[in-house]
Every structure is written in structure tokens, then in C-alpha cells.
Chain A
């Protein structure tokens, strides 16, 4: 048939075109990345790839956009389970560690670091909180921080000043007081975005502020039924009910920054990944501060903020050569270098992952111009590990559904709901003990 010939010709032509791009002996690194911002991520990564290739002859970087984080995870899993080669390096959520390690898809990076002359200096340059999710229980590093964020408090400084508040709230009591003072018929005092399928991240902030993170060093342990967790979820629920500073059931994640920029929310909890958008988009003075401390105290132990975002992972089923692995590690080092982190942080607004990046241009002058960036960085000293365990997706699902049932009033007894969820979680994790 005519078409088949055309199809084969097209195929051949494509292979030719695709092949022509690479010199013959080049090592080609497939780099998969998600995009969760309105930036031209493809353009940015192509620029990084070009710079890298100039400096490293014989290595070609092939950046591939793979949707958002969920799409990226599913794309990679589908490819690997379906017998494909998969990426060499990928940016995935920090919490994807255990499931990919469990499948044997990714390799620990500790060996690369140990082999470096100044491996200690390289690692110590990263903010410790950002490394937490990439380390296994034996202390091996599996993932390098790259596209990182934490929740933070954004406030409309003009509105606060109008109401007589010169500084942002530093603890939950002040938070409630200011939020109530700023709530009007067409404005919410405080939006905590727990609606839209992913309440766990915001909830974790409050659980930490109440004194007990829900995750531990041990991936087979989850602390979801503690008194602190009960108090935390009841506090979040009360924001929309008794305290009336936001919508019942919580605000939607995607709309929260839009409402803030429109002046319809005086304060919001949102990710630092949003800093550049909010700073560029606001026609009022934007204040940024640590998430207010909870009952655990203002000595730092009550500031509650989990980390979030994506790390760099290296994929290898054992078939990669020494030379390939070397090239891969060079690319990882390049992306996590102060030079690239400074550019990445300034371009996208994500917090640069290492301390030296903050002294590197263009981030240094951007942070000077907008002190808000510095606040986001400084909050990292209080930041804790993000929720992650074995069977992360399943357990995260249970936690999210349980939180939603409490926050929307479907489950009135928070304690009982958390106990029931904990029992299910323990049942699942027993398989991994």
C-alpha cells in the first residue's frame, strides 16, 4: 500500500533528522523535566544544555518536557514498565524517592559524592532541609535538590497597615486576630489552600507548628493520629467555620494567588515557587514572612514549614557504562551548581538550593532588590522533611481523603477519622517492616 511506504519513509526521514543532531560518538543524556510554572521551561533548559555542551565536548543533553509532576511520574513509569529506556536524569518530586528506589529504577548518588575531591563541601553548600527528603535511613544521598519550594506566608502590607498592623503575624493567635480584622464581605482575611486534592502539604505546616511532623526518618512510620495532628486539622477547619476568615472547606490551590493579587485575600499561605509571579503581578506592597509559629513555640520549634518541589534523580538499571555515568553526574553537578541555581532561582522564583547561589548573579542582586526572597531562604532553617514513605502515593491518598473529609465537615470527629486512617496506613506499611 502506498501509505505504508509513506509511513516508512517518514519514519526513516525522522530517524535521519533525529540522528543528524548528534555527533556519532557523543554520549546522549535524556533529561526529563516537569514544568509547574508559566515559564518557558523548555527554552530555559535548552539554554542550560547549550552552555553545558559548550563546556563538555562529547556530551549531548536532550531535554524533554514531560508535563507536570504527576504527568512526569506517570510518563516515566509507563515507559519503564513498558520496556522503554526511560530518562537518564529526571526532575521528580522529592517524595518519589522510595517508590522509584523500590523498583530499582534509580541509583544512590552517595558513591559519586564520595569520589569527589570536595564532596563534603559540595553537599554542605545545600540547605540541610532541602537534602532531608533525598537521604535514606542509612544516610545515603539519593537525590540532589533542584527545583525547590516551601509554603510561606504572603500578606498584603497595604491592607495590614490600613488596619493598623505594621508587622505580619508571627504566631497563630496573631494570625487569627489579623485575619479576622481584615475579613470583609468581599475579602477573605486568610486563605489556606487545602481544597483541590492536595491538603497534605498545608496541613503538614500546621502539624509541625503544633509540634509533631507526620513523617519520620523511617519510611515505614507515619504519625497521623497524634494529638498535635488532631489539633492542627481542627485549627485549619476552624478557619472556615468558627473563625470565618476564609471559605468553609478551604480555598482552592490555583485560585489563591489570583485572589491575593486582586486584593481579595489579605493573607495567603502558598508556595515560594510563586514568589516571582506575586512580586511581578501585585500593585500593592507584598509582604512575605515565615509561617506563623504554633503552640510548639516561637523559639523556632513552632515555625511550621515542610519542604517541597523536585529533586534530580539518576536512572540506571545497571547497564550504564562508567563514561555514561560520569557524564550524567557532570550534568547533575552543573544543574545544582551555584551558577545555574542562581539563574534558575532568579528566572523562575524557586528558592536556589545552595547557599553560594545566593551570592552569585543574577540572584544576588535580585535578592537585594526584593528582600522577600531572603525571607523565603531564611525560613529554610525551620523547614522540615516533606511527607514521604513507602507506598507514598497510596498513603498520601488516604491522608488527603481523610483531611478532606474532616475539613468539609463530612467527618465531624477529627480524632476518630485520623485513628481510622492511621490503622489503614499501619496495615499497608506492615508489608515493608
Chain B
């Protein structure tokens, strides 16, 4: 290695540390503020630890909402969305990747419109649709707008295209029907892509904020973000940073743990998913 390369290597090493620290500062302080006394913002006392550590913020955050119920609801919500998405996305992705039919490009465009239309502004009309379907205040209402996923179709279509066509032909010769072909040739060869899609889907729906409020009324089915809302919008009393940070950590903990555990698989599955 020559001198210039060496310097470049050192700069890169420094940059890694620097960037990681900058990115981590908010998380570190989220943790610290969550264990600081309420009356001590970072400007008072030691900037990191204040005068003492306390569990008070967690205690108060925990009683403000039925978190275990919200947890269960969030899990059912993201799982219910994902399971159906996997089915709808697979079928559409195969059709767009491997079949020739009239209107293919146009129909793909129509589906991709989903990415481009901010559904938040269509609340009244979507509410009306849910109401017509008789689904208001149900778990299905919460999930149904997400059951089709343009992002997933795009992702898997790309992956399926890279599955060698010979595999499908061989399966056909062996007498496999369409569903067998999709299941045994395409799905099996696209597991990493499915994993990547699953993680994107789960993390985005886990954090869904607006729709659950509009479409549900019963505590029994409302997800975590409804609880978090209470900690954030304490308008009449000003900000409760300690409780808010504690609540945010409570909400994101499962996602963070999942990512830490599966970080390598996650990145690799993206790599093998054919998104390029």
C-alpha cells in the first residue's frame, strides 16, 4: 500500500467513528433523559447524568396507557398486514416478472401510483370506503389499505426476474402447475427478498400514526402509537421529555432488538434481494 492509500484508510477510520457518534447522540440522550429527574433538563446539573438517576419517568409513562394491550395490537396489526401482503405481492410480482399480457405496463403503472399518492390526504374518502364495507373500528379496517403493496411488487418482480427461467421450464416439464411453480421455483429462490420486504413492512406499520386514530375507536384494537401520542401531545402542560423519551424507547425496543439480532441477515438479504 502506498502513502496516499494509508491516509485514505485513516480518514475512513476516523470518519466511521465520527459519523457513528454524531448519529448516536440523539439515542444516547434519549436514554439519559429518560432516567433524569423531570425538573432537570440537560442545562441543569451534569449534562449527561444530572444529579441523580431515576426510574420515575418509566413508572409514569407505564401507567399512562395500557402498553401490553397496545403491544399485542401492534403485533397483530403488523403481522396481519404482512401475511396478506406476502400473498398479494407474490402473485402480482410473478405476473409482472414473467407473464406477457395486454396492458402489463399500464397496470404496473397504476399499481405504482400507490407509492406516489400520499394516502394521508385521502382520509375522508378512505374512511367512507371503510364505512361502506362495514369495517369501521375493526382490525381489518386498520390493515386493509396496506394489503396491497406497490413497493413489495416492485421489489419481488425484480427478484423473480433474476431467477433463471430454465428452473421454471424444468418444473413445467415435470408437470408443475402455476401455483407449484410460483411456490417451489420463485418463492424458494427469493427468501432473502421476502425477509427484506418483511422488515421494511413491519417497521413502517409498527410506526403508523394517523390511520389508526381515524379508523379505530376501541381501546381493545388500538396499536402502540396511540399510546405514544398521549406522551407527545401534552400541550396544556408543556413537554415531558423524560416520560416522552421513556415512552419512545418502550415503543421502539422490539424493533431495535430485532435489528441488533438480525442485522447481518437483514443487510445480506437486501443484498441478495436484487434491489440494485
Contact = CB atoms under 8 A, between A and B. Distances in A.
Nearest to B230: A35
A83 B239 contact: no
Interface in B179-217: 213-214, 217
A38 B131 contact: no
B157 interface: no
Contact of A273 (B66, B226, B237): B237
Contacts of B64: 38-40
Contacts of B58: none
A255 B131 CA distance: 40
Interface in A251-307: 253-259, 261-264, 270-271, 273-274, 277, 281-283
Contact of A83 (B60, B128, B230): B128
Interface residues of A, number: 58
A81 B138 CA distance: 19
A40 B238 contact: no
B2 interface: no
Nearest to A309: B236
Interface in A144-196: 149, 186
A350 to B, nearest CB: 8
B138 A14 contact: yes
B235 interface: yes
A65 B230 contact: yes
B125 interface: yes
A16 interface: no
A253 B231 CA distance: 16
Given A257-B238, A264-B44, A273-B237, A14 B123 contact: no
Contacts of B219: 42, 65
Given A3-B87, A11-B140, A75-B213, A38 B65 contact: no
A70 B93 CA distance: 40
A342 B64 CA distance: 21
B233 A258 contact: no
B66 to A, nearest CB: 8
Interface residues of B, number: 49
Contacts of A254: 234-235, 238-239
Contacts of B87: 1, 3
A45 to B, nearest CB: 11
A17 interface: yes
Contacts of B140: 7, 10-11
Nearest to A62: B217
Given A30-B217, A71-B229, A274 B138 contact: no
Interface in B88-140: 123-128, 130-132, 135-136, 138-140
A264 to B, nearest CB: 6
B127 A38 contact: no
A318 interface: no
Interface in B210-266: 213-214, 217-221, 226, 229-231, 233-241, 243
B128 A274 contact: no
B30 interface: no
B163 interface: no
B63 interface: yes
Contacts of A283: 39
Contacts of B241: 258
A82 interface: yes
Given A38-B64, A68-B229, 10 more contacts: A38-B231, A38-B243, A40-B65, A78-B123, A78-B124, A82-B131, A257-B237, A262-B41, A281-B38, A281-B39
Interface of A: 1, 3, 7, 10-11, 14, 17-18, 30, 35-43, 62, 64-69, 71, 74-75, 78-79, 81-84, 149, 186, 253-259, 261-264, 270-271, 273-274, 277, 281-283, 309, 349-350
6 contacts: A11-B135, A36-B235, A40-B65, A81-B124, A82-B126, A84-B131
